[in-house]
C-alpha cells in the first residue's frame, strides 16, 4: 500500500479540506436552461425518430432521414 498518510496528502493539497460550495443559479436562468434543453431534446427526438413519411416537416425530402439513418437503427427506431 502507499506510504503516504492522510496528513501528507492534505498538506500537499490544502484545498482538500475546503468545504464544498454549491453553485447558486437564479430561478429564471434555471428555467431557461431547462426549457432550452427540453426543446433541443425534442428536436433531436423528432429528427432521429419521427421525421419520415407523412409526419415529415420537409415533405418528400429524404435528406434528414438518410443523415440520421444509422442512428435510427442504433436507437431501435424502425424505418423500413
All structural domains of the chain with their residue ranges = 26-80
* Confidence (pLDDT) at 28: 96
The Cα–Cα gap between 62 and 79 comes to 12
* Confidence (pLDDT) at 6: 54
The Cα–Cα gap between 13 and 24 comes to 25
Q: Print pLDDT tens along the chain (80 aa).
A: 555 555 555 566 666 677 888 989 999 999 999 999 999 999 888 877 777 766 677 777 777 777 888 888 888 887 77
* Confidence (pLDDT) at 42: 92
Burial zone of 26 (CB within 10 Å; 0-12 exposed, 13-18 middle, 19+ buried) = exposed
pTM, entire model = 0.58
Burial zone of 62 (CB within 10 Å; 0-12 exposed, 13-18 middle, 19+ buried) = middle
Amino acid at each position: 500500500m502507499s506510504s503516504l498518510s492522510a496528513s501528507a496528502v492534505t498538506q500537499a493539497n490544502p484545498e482538500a479540506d475546503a468545504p464544498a460550495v454549491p453553485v447558486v443559479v437564479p430561478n429564471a436562468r434555471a428555467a431557461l436552461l431547462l426549457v432550452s434543453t427540453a426543446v433541443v431534446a425534442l428536436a433531436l427526438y423528432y429528427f432521429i425518430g419521427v421525421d419520415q413519411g407523412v409526419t415529415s416537416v420537409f415533405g418528400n425530402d429524404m435528406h434528414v432521414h438518410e443523415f440520421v439513418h444509422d442512428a435510427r437503427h442504433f436507437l431501435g427506431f424502425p424505418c423500413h
